[in-house]
Structure 1
Amino acid sequence: MYEVGGEPLPKRTSLQDTGEAGEAWVRQYLEEQGWQILAQQWRCRWGELDLVAARAGELIFVEVKTRSGEGWDQKGLLAVGIQKQRRLIRAAQAFLSQHPDLAELACRFDVVLVEQQPAKEGVSYALADYLQGAFELWE
């Protein structure tokens, strides 16, 4: 394990709780698929990488978007526009510069859309879409 977490945010919001719960759900999902989680909520000056995972010579940078309904942004997909992609690319480059042993692995960006659903006891989470290789690492 490389790094988990960062500085806690001073004030929590329900959106932050929803996002973190969605990330935890995706983390478990990836681990069940055989991925080793190397970092979660890894932060640098350019932004945050929700999850970084490795498996069989591959490295993935995973952006998780959790929504409670369809909403205006297509379950979170529109929130990963060009500007967000650029920030994620720069953050990934910073991560790789800090972990040069991982720089030779095949890298890709995945975007995972998670849907929060009401359940008998609280809420549950479901995979709305998994976009493997959603955009290119190097511009």
Structure 2
Amino acid sequence: MTNPPASHYPDIGHLGEDLVAQWLQSTGWLILHRRFFCRWGEIDIIAQYDDGRVTQNSTLAFVEVKTRSLGNWDFGGRNAITVKKQTKLWRTAEMFLAQYPEKADYPCRFDVAIVSCLPVANNVSQRNSTHKPLASSLVADYEFQLQEYIVAAFDSIA
């Protein structure tokens, strides 16, 4: 039996981003942009958090989402955040701030979200795991789990 055409499969990257955006909103973040694109690259999610007092206390998060299925080759997407990728994200963030100068003085950080995509039929052993995901969603025959959210990830990636 042959595999179904590629169009049969959901775009797991976009569905992983949807999960992360929903989770960020549930924790008080405002989603400013999804898939912000410029000549330097793309930022999956740009979010803003206000502490409720004054706008000078707002924080911007440029979020890179890595969604992977079982058997991935790059440690769940962590190894894909290379120095070259970080540079592209940095330049793209600079372009965003140039387009929105009113946000240029906000504290900024680069976060990474690690999402797993598992076929529901194969997910029984994963559900018995002691590691509970931060968020999860079911789409078609797949479960998406936000496994890890790394705040200020570029500071912690060696």
- TM-score interval, normalised by the smaller of the two chains: 0.7 to 0.9
1:102 aligned partner: 103
Q: Does 1:69 align with 2:99?
A: no
**Structure 1 counterpart of 2:141, which letter?**
G
Measured in 2, the distance between the counterparts of 1:13 and 1:27 equals: 24
Identity value in percent = 42
**Structure 2 counterpart of 1:123, which letter?**
Y
- Structure having the higher Rg: 2
Residue from 18, 23, 33 that aligns with 2:27: 33
**Higher-strand-fraction structure:** 1
Q: TM-score, length-normalised on structure 1?
A: 0.84
Moved over 4 A (4+): 12-16
Measured in 2, the distance between the counterparts of 1:52 and 1:14 equals: 29
Shift, 1:94, TM fit? 0.3
Q: Which deviates more, 38-47 or 112-121? A: 112-121
**Higher-helix-fraction structure:** 2
RMSD: 1.8
Q: Deviations over 1:5-49 (max 9, x none)?
A: xxxxxxx86788110000011010100011000000010000001
2:153 aligned partner: 134
Q: Deviations over 1:46-86 (max 9, x none)?
A: 00010000011100000000001252200001111000000
Q: Does 1:113 align with 2:114?
A: yes
| Residue segments in structure 1 that go unaligned for 5+ positions in a row | 1-11
Measured in 1, the distance between the counterparts of 2:112 and 2:8 equals: 22
